[in-house]
Structure 1
Amino acid sequence: MKRRDFLTSSLAASTLALASQPQSGVAQSPAAAGPREYYQIRKYHMQSGPQTKLTDSYVADSLIPALNRLGIAPVGAFHLDLGPETPTLYLLLPCSNLETLVNVDLRLAQDEQFMKTAQPFWSAPATAPAFIRMESSLLAAFEGHPKLTPPPSAAQHGKRVFQLRTYESPSDADHVRKVEMFHHGEFEIFQKAGFDQVFYGDTLIGPRMPNLTYMLSYPELSDLTDKWKRFSSDPDWKKLSSSSRYSFEPIVSNVTNLILSPTAYSQI
């Protein structure tokens, strides 16, 4: 099967989670404007030592500028602070053009400026690799939050902390219901609780599907507990989560919860 055909079929299957939900009365988040984006999440697994500096230099000086030239922006770059397998560098690549995003490495190889500056990373010897392994996932933005929204402090490179959460569901039907919950009030509950909502994505290609991933931001890590208390005690959340459509069985079977800090060169 050709890559384009495969992506098309994968996209069609995943967006069932949006297409099959009731649309009447659906409130959209403030970010809901224009065509929705696609996201690639990359994880570079590394070892402590010289390779972390090599990878940071590559991403900051070569990769992000080249991605921006392709129209992929803003690019997020984060170190994993709390979670398994540290050190790990997370990259978030948003783009409204799916074709550009899935062919990004081929496009980069055609960029002479990139290839020149990226050479130490791309051609690192097997005896001193730049990273251990790289994993990636492809996501489609939720219709109700179609564009990535950097926190206000990102423009000034102010202090900020990120929470990356992935919800796995036991079945496609339960996944549909969980995506639907966000569109039927959950966005607004997050907003009332004071969260900075960065993105929401439905996984098209990646591990442990069906699942969705979203990112929240805080000025300080200490804000996390307070905001989640506000969220869980909100009457609208209690009403939504106790609805028979969503509470008849556990529609989320596993939650992955990571705390990330932005690198000095992150654009988010």
Structure 2
Amino acid sequence: MQRRKFVASMIAGAGVGLAMKGGEMQAQESSSMEFYQLRKYTLRTGPQQEITGKFFEHAMIPALNRLGISTVGAFKLDIGPETPTLYLLLPSTSAETLLTVDLRLAHDSKFVEAAQDFWNAPASAPAFERVETSMLSAFTGWPKLVVPKHEKRIFQLRTYENASYGAHVTKVKMFNEAEIGIFTKSGLAPVFFGSTLVGSRTPSLTYMLTFPDVATLNQNWSTFVADPAWKEISHRPEYADAKIVSNISNLYLSPLPSSQI
């Protein structure tokens, strides 16, 4: 009971804070919007990648599905500053479920048995270097994760760090009111958009796009940049990147065999 009250107070506190900064999230959870937990597993070259990949496939993702967390994304970083790195994306309409997922996993006997090699790896041969976890709330303009067709895909994961909380709200507003629509018209197929509630780089937002290949990615971004609607909105003084975006992280990912996205 105390744990539930604590988690509820965290959710409410985050919601009130965001409401004061633009109304992107209400104090109560809503079935019409999602939350996301994004996990980054930093590894070393060698056996860690295989151990962690098997942990995802045989232990973590099946256990998450038993908890009601479906369409779990599992990805390998192909182009970015730190390789090897793996990512997990956990979507849920319940922030409490995501916040308490590790406590719940520890009580799942099937998970504990399947996770032995990863979960109890010795300090002399660790299964990973570090795990960084972020919690995000979906944009009102894209409230649910969209799963692409199960065919050969690549994914682009982009994070925009904002110079201030006011700048963060302005950038989210820009996406909700115009930019998401221009994305979809240009062939930039979104998977999710999320404002960072808890993470290492705040204020910030993260979104994921998907493409059949890098050539299509480049072509569709060129279409977006040339779109008259994008040119108009991006030249508005209040939406100038120099005012509202301080840094952009741009990663190319490919799905692991265990990925449900």
User: TM-score under structure 2 normalisation?
Assistant: 0.92
Where 1:94 maps in the other structure, the secondary structure is strand
Among 154, 159, 166, the residue aligned to 2:152:
159
Cα distance in 1 for partners of 2:188, 2:145 equals 14
Q: State the Cα distance separating 1:46 from its structure 2 match.
A: 0.7
Q: Which residue in 2 is equivalent to 1:196? A: 189
Q: Which residue of 1 aligns with 2:97?
A: 100
- What secondary structure is seen at the aligned counterpart in 1 of 2:115? helix
Which blocks of at least 5 consecutive residues in structure 1 are unaligned? 22-32
Alpha-carbon distance between aligned partners in 1 of 2:168 and 2:212, rounded to the nearest angstrom: 31
Q: Where does structure 1 differ by over 6 angstroms across 4 or more consecutive aligned residues? A: none
CA distance in 2, matches of 1:227, 1:127: 46
Matched, 1:220 2:217: no
Separation in 2, partners of 1:231, 1:18: 26
State the alpha-carbon separation in 2 of the partners of residues 249 and 45 from structure 1: 31
1:9 maps to amino acid: G
**More relative contact order, 1 or 2 (CA 8 Å, 6+ apart):** 1
User: What is residue 28 of structure 1 aligned with on the other side?
Assistant: none
**Match of 1:26?**
none
Assess, with a 3 A threshold, how the Cα gap between structure 1 residues 160 and 248 changes in structure 2: closer, same or farther. Answer: closer
In the TM superposition, what is the alpha-carbon distance from 1:241 to its structure 2 partner?
A: 1.2
Change (3 A) 1:102 1:257: same
Over residues 34-90 of structure 1, what are the superposed CA-to-partner deviations in whole Å (9 max), with x where a residue is unaligned? 611100000111111112111111110110000011111100000001111100001
Question: In the alignment, does 2:234 pair up with 1:241?
Answer: yes
Q: Indicate the larger mover: 1-10 or 178-187.
A: 1-10
Residues in 1 aligned to 2:116 and 2:202: alpha-carbon distance in whole angstroms: 35
Give the CA RMSD over aligned residues: 1.9
Q: Which residue does the alignment assign to 1:9?
A: 13
Q: What is the number of residues matched between the two proteins?
A: 253
Q: Are 2:31 and 2:93, in contact at CA under 8 Å, matched by a contact in 1?
A: no
Shift of 1:248: 8.9
Paired with 1:47 and 1:16, the residues of 2 have a C-alpha distance of: 42
Name the counterpart of 1:90: 87
For 1:105 and 1:71, the matched residues in 2 are separated by 14
Matched AA of 1:8: A
Indicate the percent of aligned positions where both proteins have the same amino acid: 50
Q: Quote the offset at 1:9 in angstroms.
A: 1.4
Q: Which amino acid aligns with 1:221?
A: V
Question: Partners of 1:209 and 1:241 in 2: how far apart?
Answer: 23
How many angstroms apart in 2 are the aligned matches of 1:16 and 1:160?
38
**Separation in structure 2 between the aligned mates of residue 239 and residue 14 of structure 1, nearest angstrom:** 28
Alignment partner of 1:222: what SS? helix
Partner of 1:117: 114
Distance in 2 between the 1:248 and 1:169 partners? 9
Normalized against structure 1, the TM-score is what?
0.90
SS of the aligned residue for 2:196 comes to strand
Matched, 1:186 2:179: yes
Matched, 1:131 2:124: no
Q: Distance in 1 between matches of 2:65 and 2:120?
A: 22
In the superposition, relative to structure 1, how do residues 216 and 9 fare at CA in structure 2: closer, same or farther (>3 Å)?
Answer: same
Offset at residue 244 of structure 1 (A): 3.2
